[in-house]
Chains A and B, each alone.
Chain A
Amino acid sequence: MAREKIYQEEEFPSPFLQLWQIFRQTPVAMVGLGCSIFLIVLAVFSPILTPHSAIESNLDMLLLPPSWDPSGNITFLLGTDDLGRDMLSRLMSGASLTFGLSFVVVVISLVIGVLIGSLSALTSGIKASFLNHFLDVVLSIPSLLLAIIIVAILGPGLSNTLWAIVMVLIPQFVHITRNAVKEEFVKDYVLASRLDGASSLRILRYSVFPNIVEKIISQATLAQSAAILDIAALGFLGLGAPIPLPEWGAMLKSGIDLFYIAPWAVYLPGLAILFSVVATNLVGEGIRHSLKLHKES
């Protein structure tokens, strides 16, 4: 006798998955996500993909305009700079420096900031009040100014810039995690697991984190766009990546002197920065939009 197969499995997608299902339905956010993935692929595989070397100069091909210009050359699709370095290859390797490193910076500061923030949410009294005031002070100093001060202490250079931006971003993550965790901790489901005898750390790990992860990711996209702009700005001011490295901000700076003869050396890195920041912001907007819809539903 054939037994009827009845599956009565109910699926409860996690908050994160629910968010993804809403996120998928906003086309603009998906375009942003696609662009971000494209940039990540570029950042990881740029050493294999670049048609020319990003650092070696080619003295026969100085200041070649982009290939759509009558005097351009198709082997150098986006032209060359004043040392004959291929712009396309430099922009592609720049993706791993400006975009890739900003990603790394955000991940590091996210981990540290979330750890400090969630631990501080569990404390109260004078320690918490001190931390709150301290955060207010640090957050009131402009991020770039703070980064500049830290670079002044550590000395210019790309790695020092990165540490400076990590330190600038940490307070923002501490602040948002702290508030989010405190908000969740007064809710009933936390009380339920507390009555089951769960320790604070266990509640944090299994009950609170799955519910605040989207807020942290939305903050991470804000931090990422700030990090890209800060890395590029410090590179532009000559405090970040040294000149030969194809960092987008530093490329812009070296292009200024040739602004009138070779405007593409200034347009293209700026467009690349704009593109990556817009892609990041679109993803962030999409997340915040779906968070709002999710809350309303």
Chain B
Amino acid sequence: MLIFTLRRLNLFFFTMLLLTLLSFSLSFLFPGNALLNVSGQINASPEQILLLSESYKTESSIFAQYISYLKHILSGDLGISMSSQTPISVEIADLLPATIELSMVALLLAMAIGIPLGFIAAIKHNKPADNIILSIAMIGYSIPVFWLGLLAILIFSITLPWLPSAGQISLLFEIKHVTGIQLIDILLSDNAYKWQAFQNASAHIILPACVIAVAPGTIFIRLARSSMLEVLETSYIRAASAKGLTFNQIIFHHAIRNSLVKIIRHVGLQFANLITLAMITEVIFSWPGIGRWLIDSIYQRDYTAIQSGLLVLSCFIFIIHILTDFVYAALNPMARDNKHA
């Protein structure tokens, strides 16, 4: 396990190095002055610019510039937004929890629905139930998320006025910002209308989370199906049925556990896909998350925000990736002495 951890840390370090290099080079690739792109100080006076160029070492070699950029990032200074002139680290700290909340709810939904369906499909292999589930999976996998979002709004918010179509919570409720994850904040607060607020916030999150969950959910169906089929072929399952265990006992005691381990390995990979879907869905549902903010900053040519947004989002995805790797290794001893990272 120690070697495994060291390998992962090595990979993590290397990836961070590449990601910061990428985001550092973006300030040169974007149109305009590199110093202004990286700091976002578009209204700075000549004296301030002089100070800035000293702190970012623009006169020195490119390597020294990169080192000073790293120092700025490590001290939490991601520059200020070109359009709103507020520090980007503050904006991201405000917005990222909302995206985490939405994507986590969607991930849980996708797993809770997709994995059992996949298991059912595998158990009824090559029967009508299997074919129906697979066809649904194919359509869910192919459906464009923005279209699905619009249809969901049309059906569930306009034709049947069941669920709200935009925002995170009704404006009537005032929730103090503690963790930033709204549902937890509500439970922590000592508001008299706590439960009404909680209901309202959950009504707001259902629709976008379902829309995001469709595509990853169908991928989980396929993953669960193939891993279950693989497990059912193995000799320990045959041994269990030779011992006289009933089919249900085999499925619940042996097959499900072993196939779940294989699925967990893919959760990290699916997360990147899920974040992409969340970005588009945030735009449609006016969810105050980092995806909508990032797309808005492209419309506004806010290069500082794009640069830092990319860095933060990909770091976040990568951290989730590494975490699932650890969970997988903790559950499956065979993965620990895998030589390749």
Give A contacts to B, CB under 8 Å.
133-134, 136-137, 140-145, 148-149, 151-153, 155, 225, 229, 232-233, 236-239, 249, 252, 256, 259-260, 263, 266, 269-270, 273-274, 277-278, 281-282, 285
Identify B314's interface contact among A136, A145, A233, A285, CB under 8 A: A145
Is the Cβ of B18 less than 8 Å from the Cβ of A134? Answer: yes
In the assembled complex, the CB of A181 is this many whole angstroms from the nearest CB of chain B, namely 17
Is the Cβ of B306 less than 8 Å from the Cβ of A152? Answer: yes
Is the Cβ of B295 less than 8 Å from the Cβ of A148? Answer: yes
Is the Cβ of A144 less than 8 Å from the Cβ of B276? Answer: yes
Is the Cβ of B150 less than 8 Å from the Cβ of A266? Answer: yes
In the assembled complex, the CB of B183 is this many whole angstroms from the nearest CB of chain A, namely 25
When distances are taken between beta carbons in the complex, the residues of chain B under 8 Å from A236 are 146, 280
When distances are taken between beta carbons in the complex, the residues of chain A under 8 Å from B279 are 142, 144-145
Interface status of B11 (Cβ within 8 A of chain A): yes
Interface status of B76 (Cβ within 8 A of chain A): no
Q: C-beta contact mask, B131-163 vs A, less than 8 Å → 1, else 0? A: 000000011011111110011001000100000
When distances are taken between beta carbons in the complex, the residues of chain B under 8 Å from A142 are 272-273, 275-276, 279, 317
Inter-chain CA distance A263–B341, complex, in Å, is 49
Inter-chain CA distance A149–B310, complex, in Å, is 8
Is the Cβ of B150 less than 8 Å from the Cβ of A237? Answer: no
Identify A232's interface contact among B30, B144, B276, B317, CB under 8 A: B144
Given contacts A136-B15, A225-B142, A237-B280, 5 further A-B contacts (CB under 8 A): A140-B321, A145-B294, A152-B306, A237-B295, A270-B147
Q: Taking A137-B15, A153-B30 as contacts, is the C-beta distance between A143 and B276 under 8 angstroms? A: yes
Inter-chain CA distance A270–B138, complex, in Å, is 16
Is the Cβ of A140 less than 8 Å from the Cβ of B272? Answer: yes
Inter-chain CA distance A228–B284, complex, in Å, is 19
Give the top 6 A-B pairs by smallest Cβ distance, nearest first.
A270-B147, A142-B276, A277-B142, A144-B276, A142-B272, A278-B142
Interface status of B299 (Cβ within 8 A of chain A): yes
Interface status of B303 (Cβ within 8 A of chain A): yes
When distances are taken between beta carbons in the complex, the residues of chain A under 8 Å from B283 are 237
Is the Cβ of B146 less than 8 Å from the Cβ of A252? Answer: yes
Interface status of B298 (Cβ within 8 A of chain A): yes
Is the Cβ of B294 less than 8 Å from the Cβ of A273? Answer: no
Q: Taking A153-B29, A274-B147, A282-B138 as contacts, is the C-beta distance between A133 and B154 under 8 angstroms? A: no
Identify A263's interface contact among B19, B139, B143, B154, CB under 8 A: B154
Interface status of B198 (Cβ within 8 A of chain A): no
In the assembled complex, the CB of B223 is this many whole angstroms from the nearest CB of chain A, namely 14
Closest residue of B by beta carbon distance from A277: B142
Identify B150's interface contact among A239, A256, A274, CB under 8 A: A256
Closest residue of A by beta carbon distance from B310: A149
Is the Cβ of B298 less than 8 Å from the Cβ of A153? Answer: no
Is the Cβ of A152 less than 8 Å from the Cβ of B30? Answer: yes
Closest residue of A by beta carbon distance from B314: A141
Q: Taking A137-B18, A238-B299 as contacts, is the C-beta distance between A149 and B26 under 8 angstroms? A: yes
Contact residues on B (Cβ < 8 Å of other chain), bracket: 35 or more
Inter-chain CA distance A152–B283, complex, in Å, is 17
Inter-chain CA distance A47–B31, complex, in Å, is 37
Inter-chain CA distance A148–B26, complex, in Å, is 13
Q: How many contacts between A and B, using CB within 8 angstroms?
A: 104
When distances are taken between beta carbons in the complex, the residues of chain A under 8 Å from B318 are 140
Is the Cβ of B142 less than 8 Å from the Cβ of A148? Answer: no
Is the Cβ of A137 less than 8 Å from the Cβ of B19? Answer: yes
Q: Taking A144-B276, A148-B294 as contacts, is the C-beta distance between A153 and B26 under 8 angstroms? A: yes
18 inter-chain pairs at a CB distance below 8 angstroms, sorted by A residue, are A133-B14, A137-B18, A140-B272, A143-B276, A145-B276, A148-B298, A152-B303, A153-B26, A225-B142, A232-B146, A233-B145, A238-B299, A263-B154, A269-B147, A270-B144, A270-B151, A277-B144, A278-B138
Closest residue of B by beta carbon distance from A273: B144
Is the Cβ of B310 less than 8 Å from the Cβ of A259? Answer: no
Interface status of B313 (Cβ within 8 A of chain A): yes
When distances are taken between beta carbons in the complex, the residues of chain A under 8 Å from B313 are 145
When distances are taken between beta carbons in the complex, the residues of chain B under 8 Å from A144 are 276, 279-280
Closest residue of A by beta carbon distance from B340: A132
Inter-chain CA distance A39–B15, complex, in Å, is 41
In the assembled complex, the CB of B260 is this many whole angstroms from the nearest CB of chain A, namely 23
When distances are taken between beta carbons in the complex, the residues of chain A under 8 Å from B294 are 145, 148
Inter-chain CA distance A161–B298, complex, in Å, is 14
Is the Cβ of B18 less than 8 Å from the Cβ of A281? Answer: no
Identify A252's interface contact among B139, B147, B154, CB under 8 A: B147
The A-contacting residues of B in range 2-55, CB under 8 angstroms, are: 11, 14-15, 18-19, 22, 26, 29-31
In the assembled complex, the CB of B15 is this many whole angstroms from the nearest CB of chain A, namely 5
When distances are taken between beta carbons in the complex, the residues of chain B under 8 Å from A151 are 298
Inter-chain CA distance A87–B6, complex, in Å, is 58
When distances are taken between beta carbons in the complex, the residues of chain A under 8 Å from B26 are 149, 153
Inter-chain CA distance A233–B15, complex, in Å, is 28
When distances are taken between beta carbons in the complex, the residues of chain A under 8 Å from B147 are 252, 266, 269-270, 273-274
Inter-chain CA distance A232–B314, complex, in Å, is 23
Closest residue of B by beta carbon distance from A253: B146
Inter-chain CA distance A168–B307, complex, in Å, is 17
Closest residue of A by beta carbon distance from B294: A148
Is the Cβ of B314 less than 8 Å from the Cβ of A274? Answer: no
When distances are taken between beta carbons in the complex, the residues of chain A under 8 Å from B138 are 278, 281-282, 285
Inter-chain CA distance A148–B305, complex, in Å, is 13
Is the Cβ of A259 less than 8 Å from the Cβ of B144? Answer: no
Inter-chain CA distance A224–B272, complex, in Å, is 19
Q: Taking A145-B314, A239-B298 as contacts, is the C-beta distance between A233 and B146 under 8 angstroms? A: yes
When distances are taken between beta carbons in the complex, the residues of chain B under 8 Å from A249 are 144, 146
In the assembled complex, the CB of A73 is this many whole angstroms from the nearest CB of chain B, namely 25
Inter-chain CA distance A191–B154, complex, in Å, is 62
Closest residue of A by beta carbon distance from B297: A152
Q: C-beta contact mask, B50-93 vs A, less than 8 Å → 1, else 0? A: 00000000000000000000000000000000000000000000
